[in-house]
Amino acid sequence: IGEQVTLKCSFKSSSPITESLTVDWTYRPLMGGRMETIFHYQSVPYPTSTGRFKDRISWAGNVAKGDASIALQSPEMSDNGTFICSVKNPPDV
């Protein structure tokens, strides 16, 4: 609580990494509720500009090394939930 935490995500792809690669992070609260996209990456990071994680998520990955991690600033107990990382590198699915 209160410190920066890195949410790790690693991937492997049989296709070369290109500008078409996308990373999407979604979040679902522990007590249920709707999934929300909290981070998108395609060549450059696009952190969410709304919701509970606004201004608290930053890119911590390196897609050339198979790393799609993000960092969360000042986590709180209320942030507890399921974080899902999805990487797509066309044509590799």
The Cα–Cα gap between 74 and 70 comes to 13
Q: What is the mean pLDDT of the chain?
A: 94
Whether the predicted pLDDT of 79 surpasses 90: yes
The CATH fold of domain 4-88: Immunoglobulin-like (2.60.40)
Q: Cα 41–46–51 angle (5° rounding)? A: 125
> Residue 32: its pLDDT value, please?
85
Token pair 């709180």 is found at 76
The reported pTM is: 0.93
Q: Where are the beta strands (DSSP E) in the chain?
A: 5-7, 22-29, 36-42, 44-47, 57-59, 70-72, 81-88
pLDDT digits over 14-63, tens only?
999 999 999 999 999 998 889 999 999 999 999 999 999 999 999 999 99
pLDDT digits over 54-70, tens only?
999 999 999 999 999 99
Whether the predicted pLDDT of 1 surpasses 80: no
Query: Between β-strands 36-42 and 70-72, what pairing exists: parallel, antiparallel or unpaired?
Result: unpaired
The Cα–Cα gap between 75 and 19 comes to 31
The domain segmentation of the chain, as residue ranges, is 4-88
